[in-house]
Amino acid sequence: MTETLSSILIVGAGQAAAVAAATLRDQGFEGKITLIGDETHAPYERPPLSKDVLAATPENEPAIDVKPIDFYSIADIDLRLGLRVESIDPVAGTAELSDNSQVMFDQCLLTTGGTARFIEAFPEDAPGVFYLRTLDDAHALRTALKYSKHLAVIGGGFLGLEVASTAHKMGVAVSVIEATDRVLSRVAPPTFSDWLQQRIVHTGLSLHLGNAPASITPPTDIKASWDIRLPDEHHIVADTVMVSVGLSANSALARQGGLDIDPNNGGILVNEQCQTSQANVYAAGDCTSQIRGNAAQASRLESWQNANEQARIAATHMLGKDPAPAAYPWFWTDQFGCNIQMLGLPEPDLNYVIRGELDPKAETPKFIMLGLRNDVPRYAIAVNAGGDLRALRTLFEKGVCINPNEFTDTSVTARAFAKSATAAHNAGQPN
Ligand SMILES: Cc1cc2nc3c(=O)[nH]c(=O)nc-3n(C[C@H](O)[C@H](O)[C@H](O)COP(=O)(O)OP(=O)(O)OC[C@H]3O[C@@H](n4cnc5c(N)ncnc54)[C@H](O)[C@@H]3O)c2cc1C
């Protein structure tokens, strides 16, 4: 451990912050840990906000704390909520807070997350308009959906589709409006988007692709709904609008502190150890931009696993130790009766092979779409097949060349297939 390290400041009290604080204590750091968050809740998991929390009632809401609430006092972590860090000075090792107090630090970890991107036509304080990032946002949307007849979801990405799916289950009519010509266009190949689109329509939602609203008329004193006209002549009348068109990294504090920001995506630039351009300041989670693997360019990853992994790596490295490398990227989403998991990162021009049936009307569809480059798995999307995907993980990690025909043969279990492909790889045989 670094001899002189006696105080660590963590800015932002979300997923990455809680995991980093726990890692610091697990790794034996006995100095002062101050964790400052501008929300009034102790660190909580965001994934349930668009799923179980949205569907729950206030009485049966699931517990979503990242750590049990007494963890912070037991671990002697100074958790201060409802406070913003307004500025940092990495050289002086000081941070100014919104209550005009100051915190001194030897090292600082920025885990400031991101902010939902706004569309001017749907101001966040307009009646019936919702953006979803925080627990308070989820509570407000849930209350609205309880009385809503028609929800318009603007944006066919993960978050928008999860909310659409949950709202539909709650009995609300849902229209999804996506400006590009397919859903999940940034993360899924066209075949998968096409399958999911068919499932969405089969479930009973209305889906409008390639359509940015042509005209939007807000509610008036005599009409309580939004009128959204699409270029294809469709006319949607919705009492509730949920906008989900992406996330901007919260990097203003880093910029003010003189840290390097990625000009391409606005994230805080970090190296493999999650260190920023200032050696005593680290960053982890949704606010970062990092070069991964052999990628030529840094990129942002907005995922639960990335927040946890970067927090672990940053905290370990802050203590002068060598962190184990990040786990292979993994993501999940729950929507339309499907648990969808992704392994790896999407890449253009992969050759996709499919194991299982692409039946969008099946009660519980089950398949894996495996993206190969030169027969080596690079990216996979598994629908209701998380166990099988776990069995394939080693192929990704070791860069095992596979036989695509053997992969698609469902008479052999995924586990047995992965075992034999790995054995052939280890023995240096072509598969
Ligand atoms: C509704 C929803 C559903 C999701 N579903 C999934 C899913 O199914 N699967 C998945 O892999 N990922 C999912 N995610 C993404 C995942 O939750 C995030 O990637 C993760 O929460 C990122 O953690 P973080 O610590 O980087 O940021 P956050 O958890 O957002 O925490 C950042 C905190 O810092 C605070 N903050 C910012 N600036 C300051 C400041 N200057 N001073 C003090 N505090 C500050 C913010 O208010 C916030 O509380 C979902 C996200 C949302 C919103």
Question: Which CATH architecture fits 118-243?
Answer: 3-Layer(bba) Sandwich (3.50)
CA distance 256 to 86: 9
- Which residue is closest in CA terms to ligand 1's atom 37? 112
Q: What's the gap in Å between 351 CA and the centre of ligand 1?
A: 33
Summarize the confidence of residues 203-207 as an average pLDDT: 98
Tens digits of per-residue pLDDT, 214-246?
899 999 988 889 999 999 889 999 999 999 999
Question: Matching CATH topology for 7-114+249-318 and 337-426?
Answer: no
Could you tell me which of 39, 62, 32 has the C-alpha nearest to residue 142?
62
Give the DSSP per-residue string, 8-34.
Answer: EEEES-SHHHHHHHHHHHHTT--SEEE
Under the banding of pLDDT at 50, 70 and 90, the label for residue 3 is low
Alpha helices of 110-186 — where are they, by DSSP H? Answer: 135-147, 158-169
Ligand 1 atom closest to Cα of 17? 25
Over the chain, what is the mean pLDDT?
Answer: 96
CA distance 404 to 271: 35
CA distance 410 to 382: 14
Summarize the confidence of residues 249-256 as an average pLDDT: 98
Summarize the confidence of residues 189-194 as an average pLDDT: 97
**Ligand 1 contact via 47 beta carbon (within 6 Å):** yes
Running DSSP on this structure, what letter comes out for residue 42? P
CA 302, distance to chain mean position in Å, is 4
| Type of residue numbered 355 | R
**Ligand 1 contact via 159 beta carbon (within 6 Å):** yes
**Ligand 1 contact via 257 beta carbon (within 6 Å):** no
Summarize the confidence of residues 277-293 as an average pLDDT: 96
Determine which helix (DSSP H) or strand (DSSP E) holds 71, and give its type and residue range: helix 71-74
Under the banding of pLDDT at 50, 70 and 90, the label for residue 5 is confident
Q: Is the pLDDT of residue 95 over 90?
A: yes
Give the DSSP per-residue string, 231-298.
Answer: TTS-EEEESEEEE---EEE--HHHHHTT--B-TTT-PEEE-TT-B-SSTTEEE-STTEEE--TT-SS-
Tens digits of per-residue pLDDT, 15-33?
999 999 999 999 999 999 9
Q: Which of 9, 15, 251 to mutate to test the pocket of ligand 1 (most atoms within 8 A of CB)?
A: 15
Positive or negative torsion for Cα 124, 125, 131, 133: positive
Q: Is the pLDDT of residue 430 over 70?
A: no
Under the banding of pLDDT at 50, 70 and 90, the label for residue 431 is low
CA distance 214 to 200: 23
Q: What's the gap in Å between 96 CA and the centre of ligand 1?
A: 22
CATH number for the domain running over 337-426 = 3.30.390.30
Helix axes 304-318, 15-26, angle to 10 degrees: 40
Q: What's the gap in Å between 17 CA and the centre of ligand 1?
A: 10
Instruction: Please report the pLDDT score of residue 28 as a whole number.
Output: 96
Class for the domain spanning 7-114+249-318: alpha beta
**Ligand 1 contact via 304 beta carbon (within 6 Å):** yes
CA distance 255 to 86: 12
Q: Where are the domains of the chain?
A: 7-114+249-318, 118-243, 337-426
